[in-house]
């Protein structure tokens, strides 16, 4: 028998043995082969392996996560991008910039001043082997709130680019949800309740918190924004079912549309002119684009509501609230302050 005949005989024998194996046995062999291939043969450090895997649901995002055999908690690479509202990218290291040893979402030059040395050290990508025996990439789960904080600091400094605004919005919502869940987890641990609570109790609580925050973004102008205007003015709030004082529309134009972007309000008014009765066929915000305009409006509205809450909590009135907004969110392309006491015939004393 020549060599070619021997090789063919071996191949036939190999196929026969493979077909004789059960699916479970073939899977076990494949996992062992993967472990041998990636487990650090030749003196390399063995690749960490996932012992537990699951999915973390945050709002509308489903984020794959894992616990490694060394105790590390990871969010998968793609899951991390989903959490931040970033578009999906190709598989592999294209999420990661190997030249600077950092995730791609932290390499933008404008956010660099807010990235600490500690964050740089802890943001390394982790290669690990899944429970199924395939190689995957992820990041330490504790990196997520730190990244959120970077974008919120950049937002406060006013240096975020338009395409980064939605990341700041997601970051704020994530931090609110994660902080609330963290407190609940600490109480559960201190009281021993964690031993008897339902398996998905914290997950359900997190979803509840996140859903509440996301609901504010579904409505372009949340009810709380208008209710807080009444509180700051010292007026009785009639509820959303009643017509609001007409001056509230003036406040909305000043506080919102004149502060989002230079020249935005005149352009929106041009697209939706008033008819002979003084009404517009479309609401001004309906002309905003979904990819840039809507996220900018959402981020701005969230900031305004935060300032309203702060002013109300400290007993400030309308004038002081407006002063705060003028200092932090000035009109675009103008240094004039908005009138703090706009009189109107339909406003009570």
pLDDT single digits (tens) 33-74: 444 444 444 445 789 999 888 887 776 677 888 888 888 888
Number of domains observed in the structure of the chain: 2
Residues 165, 298, single domain; the answer is no
Of 160, 185, 218, the residue that ends a domain is: 218
Residue 82 has pLDDT above 50, yes or no: yes
State which of 218, 243, 266 marks the end of a domain: 218
Q: Which of 6-15, 187-196, 219-228 has the lowest mean pLDDT?
A: 6-15
73 neighbors 172 (Cβ within 8 angstroms): no
Tell whether the model's pLDDT for residue 224 goes beyond 70. Answer: yes
pLDDT band at 209 (very low <50, low <70, confident <90, very high): low
Instruction: Write down the H helix ranges in 115-164.
Output: 117-122, 143-156
Question: In which band, very low, low, confident or very high, does the pLDDT at 272 lie, cut at 50, 70 and 90?
Answer: low
Q: How far apart are CA 223 and CA 296, in angstroms?
A: 18
Contact criterion met (CB below 8 Å) for 211 and 181 = no
- Tens digit of each residue's pLDDT (9 = 90 or more) over 274-290: 666 666 555 665 656 66
Angle between helices 318-328 and 293-313 (to 10 degrees): 140
Q: Give me the domain span that covers residue 231.
A: 223-328
CA distance 299 to 308: 14
Is 12 inside any structural domain? no
Confidence tier at 217 by pLDDT (50, 70, 90): low
pLDDT in tens, 336-346: 444 444 333 34
For residue 233, what pLDDT is reported?
95
The reply to whether 197 and 239 lie within a common domain is no
| Residue 16 domain flag | no
Q: Which pLDDT value is given to residue 13?
A: 46
Judge whether residue 12 has pLDDT over 50.
Answer: no
Give CA torsion, residues 302, 308, 312, 316, to 10 deg: 150
| Segment 180-197 mean pLDDT | 62
Looking at per-residue pLDDT, the higher value among 260 and 60 belongs to: 260
**Is residue 196 domain-shared with residue 96, that is, in the same domain?**
yes
The pLDDT value recorded for residue 236 is: 92
Q: Which residue has the tokens 């030059």?
A: 109
Q: What is the pLDDT of residue 190?
A: 60
Task: Indicate if 185 and 324 belong to the same structural domain.
Answer: no
Q: For residue 5, tell me if it sits in a domain.
A: no
- Within-domain flag for 44: no
- In this predicted model, what pLDDT tens digit does every residue of 134-188 receive, in sequence order? 999 998 888 888 899 899 989 888 888 888 888 888 888 888 777 766 655 655 6
Position 37 scores a pLDDT of 44
Whether 305 has a pLDDT exceeding 50, the answer reads yes
* pLDDT of res. 34: 46
Specify if 281 maps to a domain.
yes
Where among 182, 199, 218 does a domain terminate?
Answer: 218
Q: Is the pLDDT of residue 79 over 70?
A: yes
* Mean pLDDT computed over every residue of the chain: 73
d(CA 326, CA 14): 77
pLDDT of residue 235: 94
Cβ atoms of residues 228 and 305 within 8 Å: yes
Name the percent of the chain lying above pLDDT 90. Answer: 12
Closest CA to 174 of 60, 97, 98, 78: 60
22 belongs to a structural domain: no
Could you give the CA distance from residue 164 to residue 299 in angstroms, rounded to a whole number? Answer: 11
Cα 220 to chain centroid distance, Å, stands at 18
Which tens digit of pLDDT belongs to each residue from 108-132? Answer: 889 988 888 778 877 788 999 999 9
Axis crossing angle, helix 293-313 with helix 223-233, rounded to the nearest 10: 40
């Amino acid at each position: 028998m020549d060599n070619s005949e021997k090789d063919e005989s071996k191949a036939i024998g190999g196929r026969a043995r493979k077909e004789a194996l059960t699916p479970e046995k073939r899977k076990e062999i494949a996992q062992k082969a993967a472990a041998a291939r990636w487990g650090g043969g030749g003196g390399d450090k063995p690749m960490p392996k996932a012992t537990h895997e699951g999915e973390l649901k945050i709002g509308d995002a489903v984020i794959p996560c894992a616990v490694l055999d060394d105790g590390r908690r990871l969010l998968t690479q793609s899951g991390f991008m989903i959490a931040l509202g970033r578009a999906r990218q190709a598989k592999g290291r294209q999420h990661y910039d190997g030249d600077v040893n950092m995730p791609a979402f932290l390499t933008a030059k404008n956010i660099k001043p807010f990235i600490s040395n500690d964050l740089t050290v802890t943001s390394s990508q982790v290669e690990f082997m899944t429970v199924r025996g395939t190689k995957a990439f992820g990041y330490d789960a504790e990196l997520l709130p730190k990244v959120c904080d970077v974008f919120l600091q950049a937002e406060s400094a006013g240096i975020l680019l338009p395409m980064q605004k939605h990341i700041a919005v997601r970051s704020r919502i994530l931090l609110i949800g994660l902080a609330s869940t963290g407190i609940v987890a600490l109480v559960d641990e201190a009281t021993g309740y964690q031993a008897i609570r339902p398996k998905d109790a914290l997950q359900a609580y997190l979803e509840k918190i996140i859903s509440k925050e996301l609901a504010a973004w579904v409505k372009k102008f949340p009810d709380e924004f208008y209710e807080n205007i009444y509180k700051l003015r010292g007026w009785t709030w009639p509820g959303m079912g009643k017509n609001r004082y007409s001056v509230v529309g003036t406040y909305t134009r000043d506080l919102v549309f004149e502060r989002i972007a230079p020249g935005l309000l005149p352009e929106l008014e041009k697209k939706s002119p008033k008819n002979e009765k003084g009404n517009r066929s479309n609401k001004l915000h309906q002309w905003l684009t979904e990819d840039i305009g809507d996220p900018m409006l959402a981020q701005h509205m969230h900031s305004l509501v935060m300032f309203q809450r702060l002013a109300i909590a400290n007993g400030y009135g309308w004038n002081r609230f407006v002063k705060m907004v003028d200092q932090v969110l000035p009109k675009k392309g103008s240094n004039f302050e908005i009138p703090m006491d706009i009189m109107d015939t339909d406003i009570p004393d």
